[in-house]
């Protein structure tokens, strides 16, 4: 709505002529006839007038209004134009205000052609719904124009003159009254215009007094009251004086709160380079609309017709503009029928079937209605058609042709299709009309059929069912055909196909080449009369009363043949633990190439497979007599076994004697040893002992063997070899060195029995301690230990009293029977009684650690030692542990402080003791507990305090939370809802419990809140417990705690739904809090966040609240 009137918008009181600056209507950013959004700012910076609609929900308007600056004086004298006024404040709009009429003042033109113009005033007026003027709210005066001999006056100030006696300056406007024109001895300036209360205008400034040379005094500035024009005068023909114009006055009405009226510096025109008088600056008006707004318009409106109704769907507006949408109203056209609904879709009833309608929608909130949406596409209400009739079906092969009569009524909307439904199975077929062929039926199954018609409104009811019919057809094709060759025949197998609704009576197999056939009642089917050595494929077809199926896919090719004959002339030659068997090939291959031969021993059934003769059979026992048979194999199978070979006996050299020890005497030594484990298949005929040095030997039939001719005082070792008819064994390992010596006195004897033997096991060693025995009159020269109950002995490095020594190189987790004995020059003494001891389990392998929330899952390979009864995992840093109770249970969950780096070791337990610790796992860091976006309404209400479970708290109060049931030594985070606020974190004790002192935020909204502890249970699963509390608006007397476990009173805060939508606002977004929690906990500190909260002494300001952390 443009309100431009003739002469109203001219700068400094000039009329709208080509020579004067002219106001112009703008389109952007300040557009005439538009409605700004609430909480938006409109800036009008182009001279002109626009009308803006006040947006719904506006409570006040912040204004910053600047008038136009006055133009500079004639450039030869450098006189400036006057600066404009600037008026700011907050408008409370008068009752009934519907529009704001905004005038932006033009800058005055500079005096480059003999006349300088004053700046126009800028202003904001309140208009009613009919564009009637209610009040002029704000006017900022313009600056007066400069002239040849004077400056223009700033808004509210007079101009200047170099000779006021001859040419006086114009005076400023005062309030609503125009300023007086300056007096001059040639031509006086005109007075400024006064305010016209009923006109949509700003008062113009007065014109300057004119001079015949087409020059004039400076024009006055526009405003609430216009400034007066400057006068002209002369003193003789050559001395002409022209004075500056006065500035316009300003208006700050009673509707303007916190008004500020001042001068906007730099708005007046100045001397520019090149002797140019500068123009004054264009004024400006900035409006900020405060308050709440109606919502945006719904979009994507569509309609679905029904019977005398339509279902209208739409998309909610992009914005509710700060106030929740309470309803939507749908309007039908024609007719204007409406329906109000809480959301989409909305059913509009009472429409006329057969009439085409479109629909629009507007949204409503507390601030009003949105504009109407775009109209939907047109739809026409109607009803469903009637049911088809006379339904008949004719069966075919896996199908039926269904015919029917069209319904008696289309329901007012053309029938678009018919749908036939089969029963059983529900198979459907949609057709444009009768008949309709339904395919995909099962042959042999009895079906009935119903039909329904469809129009734009929907489906009719189903018709009456047809009489039953049964589809039948030829059988399906057999599948998975395979053949197994035999002797002049093949056995053909196949999968049975569908019967086609009629029982299959036979299957026919056809061979190719040759076309031989065989008919059978079922799979498999044996086709005979084939030629061995010829490759054949086979197909199959099925037959029922309707005929034959198609032929199946052909089988893979097979070649009939027979098994080969048996090999002959089997001969075996014995070797060392083996025999080499030769044989003649069979007289016939059976028509299929021989693929290999298998030789079998008797006894033992040891076999060897070879492609041909010769074939070596290994793994035989020397000294055992064996015979051998041979089978040949081809694709058909194995031949019968050949006749057995003559018996042969494998033999070889004997094994090596072991456990060689020597006992010295004078000039000789008695050497003991253990016979070899194997004689090599031939009896051992003797043993030869060889002494080193010297090479002295002695031959014996068995252990011990005395070697004579030795030198007393010389140290000797001894080796032993066994001899059979086939030769000698390798030499044994040498004995320990001994020194022959003069025999001891006759009274000496072997040592006594060691006493009080104890054995202490480690992982791979046993430490033995025992009392020193009597030496028998000859010094003890060595101690020996047996780990198998005295069966074998080894030297024990031992000493001290009691005597101690360690047997090393043992197997972990193994049971040993430990005895010890002493040895002196007379020989070995009696052994101690056996002591049974089991070595400790081996150290477990390196564990793997996987970090979770406030916990870590540690896994490791199971120990091979069957004595292991369980494991314990230890954390570093401690003290957290977790344990298992069986050898195969190799994983457990261990609590962890979030943000701390841990490594882990594992020890194995057994009845004998614990293993050493495993190697250390790779380091891991557990995550902080979950901070859900909404309060966990289903969590147990078991969180309590040291004062019991509370029902009410006041802001700023400090309480100590108490929680149980969490993983030991794990991080638990304390939270406050509705919006989550992290109040701090704590690490649980060894029982999984915690206490945590927290402070209720001082600026927390009154109402129901949830205190929540978030962590994990001993299994590492999420655990959350809560305590509902009501926050009082102001501090109250101390509440009465509810003891832990007591039921909530009727007035106690109810647990919110999982959505938590009814809880007061308590904090900033979760992502912000989680980030702070991670930073602070990384330094080992608790976190207390004083989150964004709404002040309990709320104001009506719509500005955003601040966030304090």
pLDDT tens column, 640-691: 999 999 999 998 889 899 999 999 999 999 999 999 988 888 899 999 999 9
Predicted local distance difference test score (pLDDT) of residue 9:
37
Predicted local distance difference test score (pLDDT) of residue 412:
77
Whether residue 472 is contained in a domain is answered as no
Helix (H) or strand (E) holding 1082: helix 1070-1082
Predicted local distance difference test score (pLDDT) of residue 707:
95
Domain C-terminal end among 838, 872, 891? 838
Helix (H) or strand (E) holding 1071: helix 1070-1082
State the distance between the two ends of the chain, measured CA to CA, in whole angstroms.
50
Whether residue 470 is contained in a domain is answered as no
Instruction: Please confirm whether the linkage preceding 554 is cis (ω < 30° from 0).
Output: no
* Local structure of residue 129 (DSSP, 8 states): T
d(CA 404, CA 808): 99
Owner of token pair 């042709």: 401
Predicted local distance difference test score (pLDDT) of residue 691:
96
Which CATH number covers residue 344? 2.60.40.10
The CA-CA-CA angle for residues 486, 489, 493, to 5°, reads 85
Give phi and psi for 96, each to the nearest 5.
85, 0
| 561: CB partners within 8 A, 6+ apart | 485, 487, 532, 533, 590, 591, 592, 634, 635, 636
Whether residue 531 is contained in a domain is answered as yes
d(CA 540, CA 504): 13
582 and 525 both lie in a single domain: no
pLDDT in tens, 120-137: 999 999 999 999 999 999
710 and 627 both lie in a single domain: no
Q: How many CB atoms lie within 10 A of CB 1002?
A: 12
In which band, very low, low, confident or very high, does the pLDDT at 1036 lie, cut at 50, 70 and 90?
very low
180 and 77 both lie in a single domain: yes
Predicted local distance difference test score (pLDDT) of residue 7:
30
d(CA 1092, CA 830): 90
Predicted local distance difference test score (pLDDT) of residue 1034:
57
Contacts of the segment 477-481: beta carbons below 8 A, 24+ positions apart: 477/541, 477/542, 477/549, 477/550, 477/551, 477/552, 478/507, 478/523, 478/540, 478/541, 478/542, 478/549, 478/552, 479/552, 479/553, 481/538, 481/539, 481/540, 481/552, 481/553, 481/554, 481/555
In which band, very low, low, confident or very high, does the pLDDT at 1064 lie, cut at 50, 70 and 90?
very low
Look at residue 812 and tell me whether its pLDDT is greater than 70. yes
Nearest CA among 522, 525, 497, 498 for reference residue 511: 525
Domain count, the chain: 9
Predicted local distance difference test score (pLDDT) of residue 159:
97
pLDDT in tens, 703-723: 999 999 999 999 999 999 999
Owner of token pair 């912000």: 1072
pTM of the model: 0.36
Buried b (16+ CB within 10 A) or exposed e, 569-606: ebebebbebbbbbbbebbeebbbbebeebbbbbeeeeb
Which CATH number covers residue 598? 2.60.40
409 and 483 both lie in a single domain: no
pLDDT in tens, 240-263: 899 999 999 999 999 999 999 999
Predicted local distance difference test score (pLDDT) of residue 1058:
35
d(CA 867, CA 593): 56
| 885: CB partners within 8 A, 6+ apart | 869, 870
Helix (H) or strand (E) holding 1073: helix 1070-1082
Asked if 532 and 561 count as a contact pair (C-beta separation under 8 A), the reply is yes
Helix (H) or strand (E) holding 1070: helix 1070-1082
d(CA 836, CA 112): 126
3-state secondary structure 488-526: CEEEEEEECCCCCCCCCCEEEEEEECCCCEEEECCCCEE
Strand partners, 819: 786
| 129: CB partners within 8 A, 6+ apart | 96, 98
Whether residue 1102 is contained in a domain is answered as no
| 1032: CB partners within 8 A, 6+ apart | 952, 953, 954, 955, 1006
Strand partners, 631: 598
Look at residue 3 and tell me whether its pLDDT is greater than 70. no
Query: What are the C-alpha distances in Å from 644 to residues 114, 284, 399, 616?
Result: 145, 124, 70, 16
Give phi and psi for 1061, each to the nearest 5.
-70, -15
Domain C-terminal end among 267, 291, 315? 291
Predicted local distance difference test score (pLDDT) of residue 122:
98
892 and 915 both lie in a single domain: yes
Asked if 1090 and 1109 count as a contact pair (C-beta separation under 8 A), the reply is yes
Whether residue 915 is contained in a domain is answered as yes
pLDDT in tens, 465-524: 999 999 999 999 999 999 998 888 999 999 999 888 889 999 999 999 999 999 999 999
717 and 816 both lie in a single domain: no
Predicted local distance difference test score (pLDDT) of residue 745:
55
Predicted local distance difference test score (pLDDT) of residue 366:
84
Instruction: Please confirm whether the linkage preceding 381 is cis (ω < 30° from 0).
Output: no
856 and 876 both lie in a single domain: yes
Look at residue 1082 and tell me whether its pLDDT is greater than 60. no
Domain C-terminal end among 406, 438, 454? 454
Look at residue 14 and tell me whether its pLDDT is greater than 80. no
Nearest CA among 897, 902, 899 for reference residue 924: 902
In which band, very low, low, confident or very high, does the pLDDT at 743 lie, cut at 50, 70 and 90?
low
In which band, very low, low, confident or very high, does the pLDDT at 1040 lie, cut at 50, 70 and 90?
very low
Asked if 1076 and 1070 count as a contact pair (C-beta separation under 8 A), the reply is no
Whether residue 1109 is contained in a domain is answered as no
Look at residue 1061 and tell me whether its pLDDT is greater than 70. no
How many helices (H) and strands (E) are present in the chain, helices listed first? 1, 74
d(CA 270, CA 275): 10
Token code pair at residue 538:
């086979």
Look at residue 326 and tell me whether its pLDDT is greater than 90. yes
192 and 223 both lie in a single domain: yes
Q: In angstroms, how far is CA 134 from the centroid of its own chain?
A: 61
Q: How many Cα atoms within 13 Å fall on the side-chain side of residue 398?
A: 10
d(CA 294, CA 99): 17
Q: In angstroms, how far is CA 671 from the centroid of its own chain?
A: 78
Asked if 270 and 111 count as a contact pair (C-beta separation under 8 A), the reply is no
d(CA 376, CA 991): 66
Token code pair at residue 914:
């614990």
Query: What are the C-alpha distances in Å from 977 to residues 692, 942, 1009, 1033?
Result: 92, 16, 6, 17
155 and 287 both lie in a single domain: yes
Q: Determine what percent of the chain is predicted with pLDDT higher than 70.
A: 90
| 658: CB partners within 8 A, 6+ apart | 673, 674, 676, 732, 733
Predicted local distance difference test score (pLDDT) of residue 307:
85
Which CATH number covers residue 1077? 2.60.40.2950
Whether residue 704 is contained in a domain is answered as yes
> Mean pLDDT, the chain, as a whole number?
87
Token code pair at residue 1051:
């007035």
Whether residue 140 is contained in a domain is answered as yes
Asked if 719 and 657 count as a contact pair (C-beta separation under 8 A), the reply is no
Owner of token pair 């080969």: 564
In which band, very low, low, confident or very high, does the pLDDT at 239 lie, cut at 50, 70 and 90?
confident
Asked if 1025 and 939 count as a contact pair (C-beta separation under 8 A), the reply is yes
Predicted local distance difference test score (pLDDT) of residue 885:
93
44 and 90 both lie in a single domain: yes
d(CA 127, CA 103): 13
Asked if 843 and 860 count as a contact pair (C-beta separation under 8 A), the reply is no
Q: Which domain holds residue 524?
A: 479-548
Query: What are the C-alpha distances in Å from 856 to residues 893, 922, 994?
Result: 6, 12, 19
Look at residue 190 and tell me whether its pLDDT is greater than 90. yes
In which band, very low, low, confident or very high, does the pLDDT at 1033 lie, cut at 50, 70 and 90?
low
Look at residue 1083 and tell me whether its pLDDT is greater than 60. no
Token code pair at residue 837:
């001891």
Task: Over range 929-940, report the average pLDDT.
Answer: 89
Q: Determine what percent of the chain is predicted with pLDDT higher than 90.
A: 69
d(CA 159, CA 228): 9
Token code pair at residue 374:
């775009």
Nearest CA among 895, 879, 897, 1077 for reference residue 986: 897
**63 SS3 class:** strand
Asked if 478 and 495 count as a contact pair (C-beta separation under 8 A), the reply is yes
Look at residue 297 and tell me whether its pLDDT is greater than 80. yes
95 and 147 both lie in a single domain: yes
775 and 920 both lie in a single domain: no
d(CA 226, CA 118): 10
Nearest CA among 23, 191, 195, 31 for reference residue 119: 23
pLDDT in tens, 550-591: 999 999 999 898 889 999 999 999 888 899 999 999 998 888
Question: How buried is residue 1101: exposed, middle or buried, by Cβ count under 10 Å (0-12/13-18/19+)?
Answer: exposed
């Amino acid at each position: 709505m443009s309100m431009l009137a003739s002469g109203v918008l001219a700068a400094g009181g000039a009329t709208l002529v080509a020579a004067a600056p002219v106001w112009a209507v703008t389109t952007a950013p300040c557009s005439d006839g538009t409605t700004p959004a609430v909480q938006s700012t409109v800036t009008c910076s182009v001279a002109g007038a626009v009308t803006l609609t006040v947006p719904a929900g506006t409570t006040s308007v912040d204004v910053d209004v600047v008038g136009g600056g006055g133009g500079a004086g004639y450039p030869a004298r450098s006189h400036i134009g006057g600066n404009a006024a600037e008026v700011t404040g907050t408008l409370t709009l008068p009752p009934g205000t519907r529009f704001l009429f905004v005038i932006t003042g033009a800058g005055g033109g500079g005096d480059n052609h003999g006349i300088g113009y004053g700046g126009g005033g800028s202003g904001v007026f309140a208009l009613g719904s009919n564009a009637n003027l209610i009040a002029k709210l704000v006017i900022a005066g313009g600056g007066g124009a400069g002239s040849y001999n004077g400056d223009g006056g700033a808004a509210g100030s007079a101009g200047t003159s170099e000779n006021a006696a001859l040419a006086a300056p114009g005076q400023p406007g005062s309030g609503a009254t125009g300023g007086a024109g300056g007096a001059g001895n040639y031509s006086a300036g005109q007075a400024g215009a006064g305010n016209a209360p009923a006109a949509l205008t700003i008062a113009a400034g007065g014109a300057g007094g004119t001079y015949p040379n087409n020059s004039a005094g400076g024009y006055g500035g526009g405003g609430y009251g216009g400034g007066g024009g400057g006068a002209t005068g002369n003193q003789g023909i050559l001395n002409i004086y022209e004075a500056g114009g006065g500035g316009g006055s300003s208006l700050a009405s009673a509707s303007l709160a916190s008004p500020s009226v001042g001068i906007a510096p730099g708005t007046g025109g100045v001397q520019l380079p090149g002797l140019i008088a500068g123009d004054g600056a264009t004024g400006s008006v900035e409006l900020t609309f405060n308050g709440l707004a109606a919502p945006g318009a719904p979009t994507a409106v569509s309609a679905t017709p029904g019977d005398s109704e339509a279902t209208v769907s739409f998309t909610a507006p992009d914005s509710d503009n700060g106030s929740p949408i309470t309803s939507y109203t749908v309007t039908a056209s024609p007719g204007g029928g409406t329906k109000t609904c809480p959301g989409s879709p909305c059913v509009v009833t009472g429409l006329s079937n057969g009439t085409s309608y479109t629909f629009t929608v507007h949204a409503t909130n507390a601030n009003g209605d949105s504009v109407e949406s775009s109209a939907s596409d047109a739809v026409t209400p109607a009803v469903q058609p009637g049911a088809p009739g006379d339904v008949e079906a004719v069966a075919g092969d896996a199908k039926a042709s269904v015919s029917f009569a069209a319904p008696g009524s289309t329901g007012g909307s053309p029938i678009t299709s018919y749908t036939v439904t089969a029963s059983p199975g529900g198979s459907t077929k949609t057709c444009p009309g009768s008949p309709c062929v339904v395919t995909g039926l099962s042959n042999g199954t009895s079906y009935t059929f119903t039909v329904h018609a469809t129009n734009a409104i929907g489906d009719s009811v189903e018709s009456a069912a047809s009489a039953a019919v049964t589809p039948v057809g030829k059988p399906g094709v057999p599948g998975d055909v395979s053949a197994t060759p035999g002797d002049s025949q093949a056995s053909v197998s196949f999968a049975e196909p569908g019967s086609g609704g009629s029982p299959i009576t036979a299957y026919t197999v056809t061979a190719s080449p040759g076309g031989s056939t065989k008919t059978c009642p079922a799979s498999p089917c044996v086709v005979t009369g084939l030629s061995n050595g010829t490759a054949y494929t086979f197909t199959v077809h099925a037959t029922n009363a309707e005929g034959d199926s198609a032929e199946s896919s052909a089988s893979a090719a097979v070649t009939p043949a027979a098994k080969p004959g048996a090999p002959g002339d089997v001969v075996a030659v014995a070797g060392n633990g083996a025999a080499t068997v030769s044989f003649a090939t069979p007289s016939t291959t059976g028509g299929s190439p021989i693929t290999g031969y298998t030789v079998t021993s008797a006894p033992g059934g040891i076999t060897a497979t070879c492609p041909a003769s010769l074939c070596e059979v290994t793994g035989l026992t020397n000294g055992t007599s064996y015979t051998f048979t041979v089978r040949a194999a081809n694709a058909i199978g194995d031949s019968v076994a050949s006749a057995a070979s003559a018996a042969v006996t494998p033999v070889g050299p004997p094994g090596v004697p072991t456990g060689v020890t020597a006992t010295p005497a004078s000039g000789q030594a008695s050497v003991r040893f253990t016979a070899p484990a194997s004689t090599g298949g031939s009896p051992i005929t003797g043993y030869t002992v060889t002494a080193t040095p010297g090479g002295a030997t002695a031959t014996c039939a068995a252990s011990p063997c005395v070697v004579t001719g030795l030198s007393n005082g010389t140290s000797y070792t001894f080796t032993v070899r066994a001899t059979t008819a086939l030769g000698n064994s390798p030499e044994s390992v040498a004995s320990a060195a001994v020194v022959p010596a003069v025999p001891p006195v006759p009274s000496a004897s072997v040592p006594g029995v060691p006493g009080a033997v104890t054995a202490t096991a480690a992982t791979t060693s046993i430490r033995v301690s025992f009392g020193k025995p009597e030496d028998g009159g000859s010094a003890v020269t060595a101690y020996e230990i047996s780990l198998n109950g005295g069966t074998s002995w080894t030297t024990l490095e031992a000493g001290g009293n009691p005597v101690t020594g360690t047997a090393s190189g043992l197997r972990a987790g193994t049971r040993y029977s430990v005895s010890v004995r002493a040895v002196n020059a007379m020989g070995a003494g009696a052994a101690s009684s056996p002591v049974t001891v089991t070595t400790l389990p081996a150290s477990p392998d390196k564990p793997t650690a996987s970090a979770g929330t406030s916990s870590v899952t540690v896994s490791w390979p199971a120990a091979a030692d069957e004595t292991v009864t369980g494991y314990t995992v230890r954390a570093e840093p401690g003290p957290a542990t977790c344990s298992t109770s069986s050898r195969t249970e190799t994983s457990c969950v261990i609590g962890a402080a979030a943000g701390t780096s841990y490594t882990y070791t594992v020890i194995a337990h057994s009845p004998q003791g614990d293993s050493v610790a495993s190697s250390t796992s790779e380091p891991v860091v557990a995550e902080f507990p979950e901070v859900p976006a909404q309060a966990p309404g289903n969590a147990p209400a078991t969180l309590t305090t040291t004062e019991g479970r509370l029902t009410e708290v006041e802001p700023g109060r400090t309480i100590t939370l108490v929680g149980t049931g969490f993983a030991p030594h794990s991080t638990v985070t304390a939270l406050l809802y509705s919006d989550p606020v992290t109040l701090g974190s704590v690490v649980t004790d060894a029982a999984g419990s915690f206490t945590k002192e927290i402070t209720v935020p001082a600026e927390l909204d009154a109402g129901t809140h949830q205190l929540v502890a978030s962590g994990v249970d001993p299994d590492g699963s999420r655990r959350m417990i809560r305590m509902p509390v009501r926050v009082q608006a102001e501090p109250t007397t101390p509440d009465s705690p509810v003891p832990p476990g007591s039921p909530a009173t009727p007035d106690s805060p109810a647990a919110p739904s999982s959505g938590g939508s009814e809880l007061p606002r308590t904090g900033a977004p979760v992502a912000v809090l989680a980030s702070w929690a991670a930073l602070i906990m990384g330094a080992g500190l608790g976190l207390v966040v004083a989150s964004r909260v709404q002040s309990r002494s709320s104001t009506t300001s719509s500005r955003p609240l601040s966030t304090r952390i």
